[in-house]
Amino acid sequence: MSWLDDTDDDEPEFDEADIRMRPNPKANRPRTKRRPAHADARIARVLGVDRGRYTVLIDEDGPEEHTALATRARELRKKPIVTGDRARVVGDASGDDGTLARIVGIEDRTSLLRRSADDTDQVERIIVANADQMLIVVAAADPEPRPRLVDRYLIAALDAGIRPLLVVTKTDLADPASFLRHFEGVDDLEVFTSGHGHMPVEEIGRHLVGHSTVFVGHSGVGKSTLVNALVPTALRATGHVNEVTGRGRHTSSSTVSLRYVGETGRGWVIDTPGVRSFGLGHVDPANILRAFSDLAEVAEECPRGCTHLPDAPDCAMIEAVAEGRLGDRGAARLDSLQRLLQTFAA
């Protein structure tokens, strides 16, 4: 299936042997002695993850703010640690060459954005923790915009308690008007358009201040292009991170947090690798309708327990579409919704 092609930065299986071979004396310390509460732990923001190594921001907003590289403590076992997590860190967090701090715990998360391999798969991949906004990036052309992928992102965002925003890029290549009509009735969805020569840097920037915003979308839609326009130091910052990990400068091969600095304040931008599909196996089906707020109001008139599927008797949405009460796009919107509901009804 297509999801296999994703360039995810899923956590690699952590290899304990890998640690023991490193010339790090701390790694060989008997673990039982390190089990206690770690009263000396500091809280650090996880900026990125690469092959079992975490880049963390120590003393965020403090006088000694700096990045350090960390590994995970064995006692965490397979507990996922992702970009955006607030990690409890012990050991050498100086960030000096060759040092490796240790993550011994994760603070409670305010949100968790997940996707599954496909809709029936309960195995989930965690994309980012603690984001409160999702900027869904879709290109007007090259690649062709896919309304159904956007629907899926909307559902995932609403399910995770994350506020969705939408930007259509490459408007220099095609007119996004007909694509955007799909989302006209969606409540409170802030929509931006962007193209070569007219990137809405200030407009989007205003929405980033005070928030942690994850940029999602199909590969090649221009997520990193936007990130670089919004965060001029993005390349430098990733350059630094990758210097340590010895990887090339590909912001898009893994999920990375970058600080947005605007005139009115700061925020966090999380650039993610493109995906081809976005499974919703973990989502509460009740949250699907919420992504279709244009239809949800009509659904209130549906009989109790209405499935809203094509064979549902007296479905108010089906009737409204038949009577043309939901506008030109009504039928297409209902079709999108029914496809999603069908996936879950299966």
Ligand X SMILES: Nc1nc2c(ncn2[C@@H]2O[C@H](COP(=O)(O)OP(=O)(O)OP(=O)(O)O)[C@@H](O)[C@H]2O)c(=O)[nH]1
End-to-end CA distance of the chain: 19
Residues 266-285 that bind ligand X (CB under 6 A): 273-274
**149 near ligand X, judged by CB under 6 A:** no
Q: Which is nearer to Zn ion, 239 or 310 (CB)?
A: 310
How far is it, in rounded angstroms, from Cα 26 to Cα 92? Answer: 10
315 binds Zn ion (CB under 5 A): yes
What's the Cα-to-Cα distance from 228 to each of 131, 199, 240, 251, rounded to whole Å? Answer: 19, 11, 15, 10
Select from 36-44, 103-111, 118-126, 190-198 the region that touches ligand X (CB under 6 A): 190-198
Q: Is 281 annotated as a binding residue?
A: no
Q: How far is CA 223 from each of CA 61, 95, 136, 138, 187, rounded to the nearest angstrom?
A: 26, 29, 9, 9, 24
Torsion sign across C-alpha atoms 59, 63, 66, 70: negative
Residue 331 binds: one of ligand X, Zn ion, Mg ion, none (C-beta under 5 to 8 A by kind) = none
The candidate with the shortest Cα–Cα distance to 291, out of 145, 136, 178, is 136
Residue 178, annotated as binding a ligand: no
Sign for the CA dihedral angle at 238, 242, 243, 249 comes to: negative
* Cα–Cα distance, 278 to 272 (Å, whole number): 13
Q: Is 194 in the site for ligand X (CB under 6 A)?
A: yes
Least distance (Å) between residue 301 CB and Zn ion: 8
Tell me how far apart the alpha carbons of residues 150 and 182 are, in angstroms, rounded to a whole number. Answer: 10
194 touches which of Zn ion, Mg ion, ligand X, none (CB within 5 to 8 A by kind)? ligand X
Distance CA 240, CA 206 (A): 27
The binder of 308, among ligand X, Zn ion, Mg ion, none, by C-beta within 5 to 8 A per type, is Zn ion
The residue (of 252 and 277) whose beta carbon lies closer to Mg ion is: 252
Q: Which stretch binds ligand X (CB under 6 A): 48-56, 73-81, 107-115, 218-226?
A: 218-226
User: Does the footprint of ligand X cover residue 341 (CB under 6 A)?
Assistant: no
Chain-centroid distance of CA 188 in Å reads 19
Q: Which of 220, 262, 281, 327 binds ligand X (CB under 6 A)?
A: 220
> Which residue, 223 or 333, is less far from Mg ion as judged by CB?
223
Query: Which residue from 73, 134, 302, 340 is in contact with Zn ion, where contact means CB under 5 A?
Result: 302
Tokens 């023991």 map to which residue? 20
- Provide the CB-side half-sphere exposure for 157 (13 A, CA): 25
Residue 91, annotated as binding a ligand:
no
Is 84 annotated in some ligand binding site?
A: no
Contact segment (CB under 6 A) with ligand X among 188-196, 280-288, 293-301, 313-321 equals: 188-196
**In whole angstroms, what separates CA 53 from the centre of its chain?**
20
Question: What is the C-alpha to C-alpha distance for residues 298 and 269, in angstroms, rounded to an integer?
Answer: 36
- Is the CB of 224 or the CB of 238 nearer to Mg ion? 224
Q: What residues make contact with Mg ion under the rule CB under 5 A?
A: 223-224, 252
Q: Is 222 in the site for ligand X (CB under 6 A)?
A: yes
Which secondary structure element, helix H or strand E, spans residue 254, and what is its range?
Answer: none
Q: Which of residues 206-265 bind Zn ion (CB under 5 A)?
A: none
Q: Say if CB 44 and CB 87 are below 8 A apart.
A: yes
Q: Can you say which residues are annotated as belonging to the binding site for Zn(2+)?
A: 302, 306, 308, 315
> Binding site for GTP: which residues?
169-172, 217-225
Positions touching ligand X (CB under 6 A) are 169-170, 172-173, 194-196, 217, 219-225, 252, 273-274
